[in-house]
Structures are given as C-alpha cells and as structure tokens.
Amino acid sequence: MSEYHADSQEFRYIGKPVKRNDGPEKVTGTAVYAGDIVLSGMLHARLLTSPYAHARILSIDTLAAEALPGVRAVITGEHGSVKVGIYMQDKSVIATDTVRYQGEIVAAVAADTVEIAREAVSLIKVEYEPLEVLNDVREAVKPDALLLHPHLGTYAHSVGVFFPEPGSNIANHTRIRRGNMEEGFKQADLILENTFEQNQVLHVPLETHVTLVQWGVDDQIKIWSSGQSPFSVRDLFSIAFEIPRANIEVNIPFVGGGFGGKAGIHLEPLVALLSKAAGGRPVKLTPTREEECQTLPCRQGQVARIKTGCTKDGRIVAEQVEILWDAGAYADYGVNIGRASATSACGPYHIPNICVDAKTVYTNHLYGTAYRGFGHPEVFFAVERQRDLMAKELGMDPTEFRLKNLLYPGDETITGELITENTGSPDTCLKRAIELVGADVAYTEAEKAQMAASGKLRGKAAAVLQKAPAMPTWSASSALVQMNEDGSVRISVSGVDYGQGTYTILRQIAAERLKMPIEDVYINKSVITPLSPYDWQTVASRMTSICGMAVMEACDDLIKQIREIGGVALRASHHEVEFDNGEVYVRQNPHYRIAFGKIAMGYVYENGNAIGGPLIGRGKAIAQGLSNLDEHTGQGKAALDWTYGAHAVEIEVELATGDIEVLQMATVIDAGRVMNEQLLHGQIVGGALQGLGCTFSEVLLHDDQGRLLTRNFTDYKIPTFKDMPRTVYTDVVETPQLDGPYGARGAGEHPLISVTATVANALANATGVEFHDLPLSAWRVWTKLQEQKQQEQQQQESQE
Amino acid sequence: MTTLPLHLTVNGEVYDAFVSENATLLTLLRDVLGLTGTKEGCGAGECGACTVIMNGLPLNSCMVLALECEGAEIRTIESEYQNGQLSNLQQAFIEHNAFQCGFCTPGMIMSARALLEANPNPSRDDIKEAMEGNLCRCTGYDSIIAAIESVGVSAP
C-alpha cells in the first residue's frame, strides 16, 4: 500500500487536483468501445430506412434479400411491432404500417459481412403511399390537424406524471398556474409579448449508437451497447419482451460521447430481434454517421411565446409562457422534456402570477430525446432574450433588471418550492461573469469610432441560467465498496463515465470518507448489469450528487465493518476504534496499528482462528422528497437541487459578412462545492462551446416534404478548433447544497444553457439587430443587417 | 469481391495481407490487423477520428483505399506507446485533461504528432490550423491546445 501523508487542509481529496483514472487507456487507443468488440460467429447488421417523412407501407418484399448468400436474417415491422419506451410507449421497434419520419427503420438485415448486409438491404422492395406531412409544430397543434398518433389514448405511459391529449397531436401538456393572471397583467405598466423559435439540433457523439446483441438459448440476452443507461435498457427490454430482468445482461464498455442521446433505450431491441431471427448468433450494428443524424433521435425543436407584464420600476408582475415542443414523430422520452421545461419556464425569477403551458407535439420530423440540459438550453434562449428586450423597453440596464427580479432566499419558484440560503446564488454568478469580461464597462467614444472605421462592431451581454435534474421522483443510485485482499478498495456503480469524470469524483469521495490514499481506491470502469449495483440512468447531472451520496453511504457501511472487525482484532470496542491511512488502531493507542489488509477478508489469529470475512460496504440514495406535479396547477416539488449559473460574452460582428467572433466568454456556475477543478473546468469549456455550436451553426433543416437536409458533417457543422472563443474564463460559486456530497451539486449540463441568448443579446447590443430565432450564422446575420440598413434608408428618405 | 495482395509497414512491423479492392486503410487497420485504436467517426473524412500518419503525413484513414498503401509506412496511435512508456503527447493529454469520452483522442494525438514533426514549436494559431479537421464534441478544444503547446520545444 502506498504511503499517505496527511494534509493540513480541511479535505484530503475533495477539491484536490486528482487526475482522471481513464487516461492511459484512452490516450493509447486501448480503451474498448462497443465497436471494438468482436464475438465468434458475429453477424453484421444494416438498416433500410424510410425515404418519406410520412407514408403508409403498402407492401414489403424481402424475398430477394433473404435469397442472397450470406444473409442470415431479414426482419420488418411484422417482427418488430412491439412498442418499447420509457415515459410514453409510442414507438415500435420497426415501423409497422406507417412511417412517421424520414429515416425511420423499415427493415433490417443481419449477414456474414457488412457488404452483404448492405447489398441485401438494397434488394428489399417497399411500396409506400405518401401521406400529408406535418412539417411545422404550429400546424400540428391546430385542432383540425392531421392526427399522427390516432391511438395516443391507448399508449402506456407514466400516469399522473404526463398528460397526453388523445384526439390531438399533443403527447403531453404540462400546466403551471400561480396567482391571478388578470390581476397580474392589470398591475403591469408595460406588457411585452414575443415568440422565439429554435429548430431541432443533433447531439453528435463521435461514436454512433453501436449495439451488439446475442439472443441466446433459453432467452438469455446479452447486450453490449454504447449507452448511458444500462439498467433502463434492461428494465425497458424486460417490459417490452416479457423476459425476466435477470435474463438480460447489459454491458456498457467505454462510451464515445452521449450528451443525453444515448439515455433510455435505442437500438438494443432491434438488434436483439435480428439475433433471434438469425438463430441466436450475435449481431453487431454500427450506425453510419448518416443514420446517426437521420434515424437516431435529436434534440426537440421549440416555439415559445412569452408575454411579460412589468411595472415602471422594473418589477415583473406576471408572465405567460406557451411552449410548443417539436417532438418529431415520437415523444417517448420527449414528454419529460416538456415537463422539465415547464418547471423552468420563467427562469430563476420571482414572479407572483404565472401561467405556463408546455405542449409536446408530434410532427413528421426526426424524433427528439434527452439532450444535455434537457429542455433548458431552448427555454433559456426565449427567457433570457425576453429579459433583455423587456429591459430595453423599460429603458433599464438589463443586469439591474435581472438582479431586481431574480430569486432570493424566501422567494418561491413557479412550482412553489421555497428558496433558501443554500439553494444557490444566481445573482453572484451573474455579477462575477459580468466582472470577468467587463460586460458592464461601456465602450469609449474612441473605441466606438475605431469600430465604425474597421466595420467590426463589438457588443457585450450577460444572462443567467438554472437547471434541476429532470427525472422521476423515485430515481435512485446504489454503490458497492468492496475491500480487496491488500486493503485497497474497489467501487462498483452503474453510472456510466463517458468522459464527465464521474468515476474520478466518486474515487475522491470514497478516499475522503475512508481516509485512505486515493491510489488505493479503484473503481470498475465498465458496467455489467448482473454484477453492478442498480442505477436508474446516467443523466441529469445526477451522478456526483445522487451516486456520490450512495458511495458515501457505502463507505460508511464499510467503516462500520472496519470498526467492528478491527475492534475484535485490537481487543477494543468498535467505538474506540479509529482508522486512517489504510490502518485501524485504538484511539488512545495510535502507535499500534493493523493494516486494512489484515482484516479485509477476515482477521486470522496466531493460532489460526479467524473472524469476520470479506468486507463489503453497500450504499444507496434516492431523489428524496420529490413529488408529482399537480395536473392543473403544476405545483409540487420538482427539483432535487437547482444549479444556477451565468454567462457573459463580448463578441465582434463583421458588418461586411455577418460573421461573429466571440472575443471573450465567461461562465460561472454555482456548483455547491468544487470536487475537482480541472474536471469541472472541462465540463464548462466543453459545454459552453457546444452552446456556441447551437448559436452559430447547428440546425436541422427539412425540405417542404419533411425530409432531413442536414445528414452529415458537411451539412451539419459542429464547432472546430477555429470556432473557440478568443478568451475563455470559467469560475465557480460555492453555495453548499445541504443534501449533496460535501455540498456539491451537478454541473455537467449547465454550461450549455443560455449561451444562445447571451450571444444574441450581445449581437443586439452591438448592431441593434434583434434575433428571435437561431442560428446566428453569418448569412442570417448579414441578411438582417441588410434589412436594417434598408429600413434606415427608407426612414431617412421619408423624412427628407 | 476480388482480393489483392498488399505489402506495407505499420508501426514498424511489416505486413503482407490480402485485401478487397474497396477496403479502406481504416478497415485494414481495424478489421484485418486488429489495430482498433484508430476510430471511425463519420466514414467521410469530416471528423478526423481515424487520423493516422502515412509516410510522414496525417490523413483520414477512412478516405484512403488500403491498396493505395502498397509499400507505405503507416503509424497509428499504437505506435505512441513504446516499451511500456506513454509518449510525451500521451502524458500531456492526461496532464491537461485533454479528452473526455476519448473517442477522438487517438486521431487527435496522431494529428498533433504530425504537426509537431513538421513544426516542433507550434503557436496556438498553428495548432488550430493543423488540428481543424479533428472534431471533439466534449472538451471545447482548450485543453487539447494546452496539451500540444506543452510538448512544443519552447514549452517551459
């Protein structure tokens, strides 16, 4: 066991620069991802997908494909009609009689090689009858709109949590009501209404949803998946196929990015059916990038209408928000995005009179799912744009306006949760972000003259953000901390570390709790459901907080056993036993110590007598105290914890091209407690740049027939090295979370939220051009600048 | 599919293989030679995850036919780890937290290696220019630049 030297500071490992533990395998290329796994007898799968956004399937002829040598299985909707889902079971494994988006799976082939499978797919003949396409969420929500899911009322879903409206395209309608809207707007001196729009965007994990399944004898199912949610895959698979959970083994090796898009269940049932049809041989499906773009789900689109009432002195008295979510063809996971967005629909502001309607609406677009931030990046584009526009109307500084209306201790959120001193501090985050980029410092006349001369206008702005984990009230984690023979420990959890650094932070927590050298704290780096303890899903920035609490409890359980067995070995009562640095001793006699290794598997006396046995700590944690929200008012406990934050930016707009460069960007998060600064910095910088991608270039475009135009990296651009802001600042506020491990709360998703609004506000400050939609691509900005110029000219001419 | 003989050197080792006419260098590396460190992100030369060094130059191995590599010298991520030692770039990537999910990392390191061989002391702008073809969705690139800079000859 390596030597540990006690630190004089309060913590040994919490907040210390511990390096991530997956480095050597990731930098050498030896980390095994699902796509690297090869099994004996393994077949390769290819997909046939729909060329139409909406069509009836009249016939499918698979005879020629089946006859091709080397083809071992061909399946269609006939074999894959079972519905699988997490919140709203509206999607079958393979399209049956109708396709509802272009890219939807219509048939699949398993063959000896990828080439044979691809050729077989080309031999499948499908006859379609194209149907009317719902290409716009505003059309889809109209009462007389074509119904995409006429059987919505029969779909299994979480009752009392989601509220579908059968007979419409609304898969869920979450309402929040507080106060009295009529009275509220009566008190207002100024009412401002705006509509904000955002198209769908893609997650873009560098590794696609690779899936390998063997449907073995006696319905023993083995799955290897690039997924975020091993136990949800097991659970949902079990429900859909009526196979016992214990028969289903889900393996999650290293995962090449998720961003929410690999939460829930995806291709596992399809590949399982192929394996079954191929007589139980293992089948691997590696989706192409095009399939990842057009067949696997995206982030939902949004149209948000906000009507805000304000007094003259800048107090928000009423706000009405209607959010239409473009769920696309299916809303299985999507309904919870609508619900989450409703709980956050007014941002971290204290507003007495509230009316929120969030509707998850079916269209014939690619279907949406969880995406980093889960509804919030979209909502905060609308909310934080609206705040700047309102401040402008009031003639008030936007920061002053925000500070006046933010939530402070004693206030209640829109769902009726009390804000306390420990909830977090959005105002501190905002002020700090502004300070970092000097967003409150006005440009001098000389600077303005220089900008005018160069044709490059600069602008600054800031905005706040918030998010709570969006998850069921019962979402839980568990952890095992087992002692090895040498007294080191290994942690087992079923949260997946696809790069966030979860495993490193959990090691820090265990080392801190067990007061032992972190080099002696190991963690299993892959999850195997029959061996790993249960966890609901790796989502919602919940790993540090909930899984962290489970690891703490497991350590405490282990400590109890260490004291008990250590006490027997030391001939002392358990309460007299202390431990440190991997050794136990009696408190009053610290010089005589027994190494953990001596008690790890049982203590052996000199005469051979043995006591105890292998030491295993177990721990669990659940989202304590959450409640379902009232169907009519939305009141209830929606948030386990709120993480607040803010961004500030300075941008430069080139008038001749419309191109925007981010000169400075500051992101400040109230993380409760910084567990590992380098990892948190990595989350913030990465998340913020993903947010800039959504700001400048990332957008899914459909043609007038609802067919996706942006299906690859040529047409869908994510940020490159050259799209980084010139200067990036990150900082943290630490308002301890009372029920978080060492005060920590989640921060993985938050850096992405409000980036779009902050930049759009800065663009307005720089040029006067007000965007109510995205992206702020050069051509769209340039076009608006031209329109602005023409309007100014016309005004000038009419004055003359 | 016709297969044809191919002779090449990969990571200093000589290989004689039979490959199909339409097989890419990436397929050869991963599926024939079992060198799975090189990853496929898009299969269209857009993401750089499959970057290897061929005769001293970095390229997307998904865009090169295996048969074009007759007599070539290829280096993949597996060449960076020698005699049980991580290379300077590999150590720097760990030191600077220059990866998260790790899927783009092999390609990143090979692009960075090719850059450092051509320009041992690259500036931030040189790094951005040379690495623009390598996409990373996780890190925001900042830490990758810091890692590469730290290996440059003038690094402190």
Can you tell me which residue has the tokens 């135009």? Answer: A709
Q: What percent of chain A has pLDDT above 90? A: 98
Whether A645 has its CB under 8 Å from any CB of chain B: the answer is: no
Query: Is the pLDDT reported for residue A1 higher than 70?
Result: no
Which whole-number Å values give the CA distances from A451 to A447, A455, A784, in the listed order? 6, 6, 19
Chain B: give the shortest CA distance to residue A27, in Å. Answer: 6
Q: Which residues of B touch A682 (CB under 8 A)?
A: 97, 100, 138-140, 143
The residue count for chain A = 800
Q: Do A206 and B77 touch (CB under 8 A)?
A: no
Give the pLDDT score at A521.
98
**Percent of chain B scored above 70 by pLDDT?**
97
CA A286 → CA A41, A119, A122, A250, A276, distances in Å? Answer: 17, 16, 18, 17, 18
pLDDT tens, residue by residue, A503-541: 999 999 999 999 999 999 999 999 999 999 999 999 999
Residues in CB range of A557: below 8 A, 6 or more apart = A481, A617, A618, A619
| Whether A65 contacts A124, CB under 8 Å | yes
The beta-carbon neighbor of A499 closest among B95, B138, B144 is: B138
Rounded to an integer, what is the distance from CA A462 to the centroid of its chain? 23
3-state secondary structure of A12: coil
- Judged by a CB distance cut-off of 8 A, whether residue A716 touches chain B is no
The arrangement of strands across the sheet holding B3-10 comes to: B13-20, B3-10, B73-75, B51-54, B57-60
Residue numbers in B near A19 (CB within 8 A):
94-95, 97
CB contact (8 A) between residue B41 and residue A206: yes
- The β-bridge relationship of strands A456-467 and A643-654 is antiparallel
Distance, in Å, from the CA atom of A204 to the CA atom of B137, rounded to the nearest integer, reads 7
Residue A3 has pLDDT above 60, yes or no: no
Residue position matching structure tokens 């598997």: A601
Kindly list the strands in the beta sheet with A489-492, ordered across the sheet, starting from the edge strand earlier in the chain.
A521-523, A489-492, A476-483, A616-622
Alpha carbon of A725: minimum distance to chain B alpha carbons (Å): 10
Read off the pLDDT of each residue in A576-602 and give the average, rounded to a whole number.
97
**Residue A778 and residue A655: Cα distance in Å, rounded?**
10
Q: How would you class A412 by CB atoms within 10 Å of its CB: exposed for 0-12, middle for 13-18, buried for 19 or more?
A: middle
A522 near A212, Cβ under 8 Å?
no
- Res A2: pLDDT: 33
Instruction: Tell me if the bond preceding A775 is cis, omega within 30° of 0.
Output: yes
Which B-chain residues 70-99 have CB contacts (< 8 A) with chain A? 76-78, 80-81, 86, 89-90, 93-95, 97, 99
A340 vs B: CB within 8 A = no
Cα A100 from chain centroid (whole Å): 25
Rg of chain B (C-alpha set): 16
According to CATH, where is 3.10.20.30 located in chain B? 3-79
Q: Of A611, A730, A609, which Cα lies nearest the Cα of A681?
A: A730
Q: Strands A316-328 and A301-310: what pairing?
A: antiparallel
Does A722 touch chain B if contact means CB atoms closer than 8 Å?
yes
pLDDT at residue number A708: 97
The reported pLDDT for the residue numbered A146 is 97
How many other CB atoms sit within 10 Å of the CB of residue A155?
18
Partnered with residue A43 across adjacent β-strands are A283
Which positions ≥6 away from A786 have C-beta within 8 Å?
A: none
- Across the interface, of A20, A205, A720, the residue whose CB is closest to B132 is A720
Q: What is the mean pLDDT of residues A170-189?
A: 98
* Closest-CA residue of chain B to A749: B138
Cβ distance of A714 and B38 shorter than 8 Å: no
Helix residue ranges, H only, A544-624: 548-570, 596-599
Lookup: tokens for A729: 């600042």
Chain A nearest C-alpha distance from B95 (Å): 7
Model-level pTM? Answer: 0.97
CA-nearest residue of chain B to A18?
B95
B24 touches chain A (CB under 8 A): no
Assess A712–B contact: CB distance below 8 Å, yes or no.
Answer: yes
Contact assignment for B102 to A24 by CB distance below 8 Å = no
What lies within 8 Å, CB to CB, of A160 at 6+ separation is: A628, A631
Confidence of residue A6 (pLDDT cuts 50, 70, 90): very low
- Tokens matching residue B23: 């097989």
User: Residue A77's pLDDT is what?
Assistant: 97
What is the mean pLDDT of the segment spanning A1-10? 43
User: Which residues make up the CATH 1.10.150.120 domain(s) of chain B?
Assistant: 81-151
Q: In this complex, is the C-beta atom of A69 within 8 Å of any C-beta atom belonging to chain B?
A: no
Q: Answer yes or no: are the C-beta atoms of B32 and B17 closer than 8 Å.
A: yes
> With contact defined as beta carbons under 8 Å apart, do A173 and A358 qualify?
yes
Nearest CB to A29: which of B44, B77, B95?
B77
- ipTM metric: 0.98
Average pLDDT over residues A474-489: 98
What pairing do the DSSP bridges indicate for beta strands A521-523 and A527-528?
Answer: unpaired
User: One-letter amino acid identity for A9?
Assistant: Q
Beta bridge partner(s), residue A55: A99, A130
Spatial strand order in the sheet of A583-586: A577-580, A583-586, A589-595
- How distant is the Cα of B93 from the closest Cα of chain A, in angstroms? 7
Cα–Cα distance measured from residue A329 to residue A335, given in angstroms and rounded to the nearest whole number: 12
Report the interhelical angle of A230-241 vs A268-277 (nearest 10°): 50
Q: Which residues contact A289 (CB under 8 A, 6 or more apart)?
A: A208, A712, A713, B41, B42, B43, B44, B46, B47
Which of A62, A487, A447 minimizes the C-alpha distance to A274? Answer: A62
Chain A residues inside the 8 Å CB shell of B76: 29
Which residues fall within 8 angstroms of residue A86, CB to CB, at 6 or more apart? A232, A236, A264, A265, A332, A333
For A685, the closest of B86, B89, B139 (CB atoms) is B139
B48 touching A (Cβ < 8 Å): no
Whole-number Å distance between alpha carbons of B144 and B93: 7
The answer to whether the Cβ–Cβ distance between A23 and B94 falls below 8 Å is: yes
User: What is the 8-class DSSP label of residue B82?
Assistant: B
**Is the distance from CB of B92 to CB of B130 less than 8 angstroms?**
no
List of chain B residues whose C-beta atoms are within 8 Å of the C-beta of residue A206 = 39, 41, 47, 49, 101, 103-104, 135-137
Residue B36 φ then ψ, to 5°: -90, 5
Q: What is the pLDDT of residues A753-799, one digit of tens each?
A: 999 999 999 999 999 999 999 999 999 999 999 999 999 999 999 88
Structure tokens at A1: 């066991």
Return the pLDDT at A7.
41
Instruction: For A18-29, give the DSSP string.
Output: PPPTTHHHHHHT
Whether residues B139 and A19 touch (CB distance < 8 A) is answered with no
CATH class of the domain whose range is B81-151: mainly alpha
3-state SS, A388-441, equals HHHHHHHCCCHHHHHHHHECCCCCECCCCCECCCCCCCHHHHHHHHHHHHCCCC
Which of B90, B135, B145 is opposite residue A720, by nearest beta carbon? B135
CB A109 within 8 A of CB A123: no
CA dist A54 and A385 (Å) reads: 35
B2 confidence band (pLDDT: 50, 70, 90)? confident
Nearest residue of chain B to residue A676 (CA atoms): B97
Mean pLDDT of A214-238: 98
Does the pLDDT value for residue B1 go beyond 80? no
**Residue A439 · residue A428 · CB < 8 Å:** no
| pLDDT category of residue B152 using cuts at 50, 70 and 90 | confident
Q: Are strands A301-310 and A583-586 parallel, antiparallel or unpaired?
A: unpaired
Higher pLDDT, A7 or A122: A122
- Among B97, B104, B135, beta carbon nearest to A20: B97
Reported as a single tens digit per residue, the pLDDT across A404-440 is 999 999 999 999 999 999 999 999 999 999 999 999 9
pLDDT in tens, B34-91: 999 999 999 999 999 999 999 999 999 999 999 999 999 999 999 999 999 999 999 9
Closest by CA to A583, choosing from A654, A515, A489, A661, is: A515
* Domain B3-79, CATH among 3.40.50.2000, 3.40.80.10, 3.10.20.30, 3.80.10.10: 3.10.20.30
Interface test mutation site (partner B, options A26, A204, A259, max chain B beta carbons within 10 A): A26
The yes-or-no verdict on residue B156 having pLDDT over 80 is: no
pLDDT band (50, 70, 90) for residue A9:
low
Give yes or no for a contact between A224 and A196, defined as CB atoms under 8 angstroms apart: no
Residues 117-146 of B with CB under 8 A from A: 127-129, 131-145
B24 min Cα distance to partner chain A (Å) = 13
pLDDT at A346 over 90: yes
Give CA separation, A13 vs A9, A505, A508, in Å.
10, 9, 5
> Could you tell me how many CB contacts below 8 A there are between chain A and chain B?
159
**Chain segment B84-143, per-residue pLDDT in tens:** 999 999 999 999 999 999 999 999 999 999 999 999 999 999 999 999 999 999 999 999
A24 touches chain B (CB under 8 A): yes
Determine the average pLDDT of the residues in A14-33: 97
Number of continuous H segments (helices) and E segments (strands) in chain A: 19, 29
Which distant-in-sequence residues (6+ apart) come within 8 Å of B74 by Cβ? Answer: B8, B9, B10, B11, B25, B29, B52, B53, B54
Q: Which of B38, B86, B142 sits opposite A27 (nearest CB)?
A: B86
Q: Do A499 and B38 touch (CB under 8 A)?
A: no
Using alpha carbons only, give the angle A84, A89, A95 rounded to the nearest 5 degrees. 65
Q: What ranges in A591-726 are assigned the alpha helix state H? A: 596-599, 677-696
What is the nearest CA distance from A36 to chain B, expressed in angstroms?
A: 6
User: What percentage of chain A carries pLDDT values higher than 70?
Assistant: 99
Residues of B with Cβ-Cβ distance to A724 under 8 angstroms? 128, 140-142
Determine the pLDDT at residue A71. 98
pLDDT band, residue B155 (cuts 50/70/90)? low
**Average pLDDT over chain A, rounded to whole?**
96
Which chain A residues are closer than 8 Å to B40 by Cβ?
A: 35, 286
